[in-house]
Amino acid sequence: MVRIALCFWLTATSALAGEIWVSNEKDDTISVIDEATLEVVRTIEVGERPRGITFSKDYKRLYLCASDSDTVQVIDPVTGKILHDLPSGEDPEQFILHPDNKHLYIANEDDAIATVVDVESRKVVAQIDVGIEPEGMAVSPDGSFAVVTSETTNMAHWIDTKSQKIVANTLVDQRPRHAEFTKDGDELWVSAEIGGTITVFDTDKKSEKAKINFEIKGIHPDRVQPVGFEMTADGKYVFVALGPANHVAVVDPKTYQVLDYILVGRRVWHMAFNGDQSRLFTTNGVSGDVTVIDVSNLKPLKTIKVGRFPWGAAYRPT
C-alpha cells in the first residue's frame, strides 16, 4: 500500500515538474507559476510592454517581445537574467520560432512588417511587407510556410520560408489575432476577434475549408471575440480564448463543433498547456490572473493572481 502510494506520488510529481511563464503587458514583468503548487514562485523584471513569449526547443532560452522597448529579449530561464537583445524591428508583438530552432519570425505591429531574425548570429535575415498591424504568427510543422495575420488588413499572408517571400494572401474576418497549423500540417486555423470566428484553411489549396462560430447564452455575439487558441497533441480538442466573453471554448477539430464553454477570468487572451497537457493555463488580461483548467474534465481548477494585464504564456519543464 505504501509502495503504491509512493509510486503514485513519484509519477505525480514527475508529471508535474515544470513552470508556466506569463508575460504581464502593463507591469513589465514575467510571473513564473510552478505547475505542481500552482503558485507564483518568481517574478522577473523585463523590458517594456512584454507580450509574445516562447522558449527555444531545448528550453534553454526564453524569447520575449518587449514591444515598447522595440526588441526581443533573450532570457536565461534558470537565472532569470536577460542575456542579450535581438534586433526585432519596431514594436514586436508576437513571434514564432521555426522548427529549425534558429529563425524567429516576428510581427512588427506598428510597421506592417514581419522580421525574420537568426537567433544565433543575432542578425535580421529578412523583412517582409505585410498588412497593417501584423500579429498572429504560425509556422507549418515541416517548416516550409510561415503565416502572418494582419489585424487591420484582415488577411493571412503565407510566406515561403526558403525565399522569405509572400506566396499567397487569404482574406479572413475582421481583426485576425492568432494563427496555428494543425499538428499534421494539413490545416491552418486563424481566429478573427471582431469577426467572431475561426477560419480553417486547407494548407495545400490555401483555401477556406470551414468556419467556426461561437455562441454563449446571455452574451451578445459581438462580445464573443476569439483571440488565442491551442490544440491538444492528441487531436482531441482546440481551446479558444473568447476575450471579453470571459470564456474558453472547447472545439472538436474533426467536426469543427463547439463542445463546451468554460468560464475563466476577464478578457481571456492566450494560453499554454503544461507538459503532459493535463492542464491549461489561460491569461486573463482585465482580471490580472491566470485560470488553470483541468483538461480531463474541462473544468476550471484554480485562479492564480499574476501581474497587471497578463498577455502570453509559455511552458517549460524543470
Residues that bind other proteins (CB under 8 A): 109-110, 112, 131-133, 151-155, 157, 166, 169, 171, 173-175, 193-196, 220, 222-223, 225, 244
Q: Report how far residue 189's alpha carbon sits from residue 213's, in angstroms, rounded to the nearest whole number.
A: 13
Nearer Cβ to other proteins, position 208 or 276?
A: 208
Q: Report how far residue 42's alpha carbon sits from residue 21's, in angstroms, rounded to the nearest whole number.
A: 9
Q: Report how far residue 177's alpha carbon sits from residue 124's, in angstroms, rounded to the nearest whole number.
A: 24
Nearer Cβ to other proteins, position 10 or 171?
A: 171
Helix (H) or strand (E) holding 2: helix 2-15
Q: How far is the CB of 63 from other proteins (least distance, A)?
A: 22
Q: Report how far residue 310's alpha carbon sits from residue 17's, in angstroms, rounded to the nearest whole number.
A: 22
Q: How far is the CB of 174 from other proteins (least distance, A)?
A: 4
Cell of residue 290, nine digits: 491566470
- Residue 194's CB is within 10 A of a number of other CB atoms, namely 16
Q: How far is the CB of 223 from other proteins (least distance, A)?
A: 7
Nearer Cβ to other proteins, position 174 or 277?
A: 174
Q: Report how far residue 125's alpha carbon sits from residue 112's, in angstroms, rounded to the nearest whole number.
A: 17
Nearer Cβ to other proteins, position 63 or 309?
A: 309
Q: How far is the CB of 226 from other proteins (least distance, A)?
A: 13
Spell out the residues 6+ positions from residue 206 whose beta carbon is closer than 8 angstroms to its own: 158, 168, 170
Nearer Cβ to other proteins, position 76 or 129?
A: 129
Contact status, residue 116 vs residue 108, Cβ threshold 8 Å: no
Q: Report how far residue 114's alpha carbon sits from residue 129's, in angstroms, rounded to the nearest whole number.
A: 7
Nearer Cβ to other proteins, position 109 or 180?
A: 109
Q: How far is the CB of 224 from other proteins (least distance, A)?
A: 10
Query: Which sign does the torsion angle of CA 305, 311, 316, 318 carry?
Result: negative
Q: How far is the CB of 280 from other proteins (least distance, A)?
A: 25
Contact status, residue 146 vs residue 139, Cβ threshold 8 Å: yes
Q: Report how far residue 22's alpha carbon sits from residue 283's, in angstroms, rounded to the nearest whole number.
A: 8
Residues comprising the chain, all counted: 318
Q: How far is the CB of 122 from other proteins (least distance, A)?
A: 27
Nearer Cβ to other proteins, position 105 or 237?
A: 105
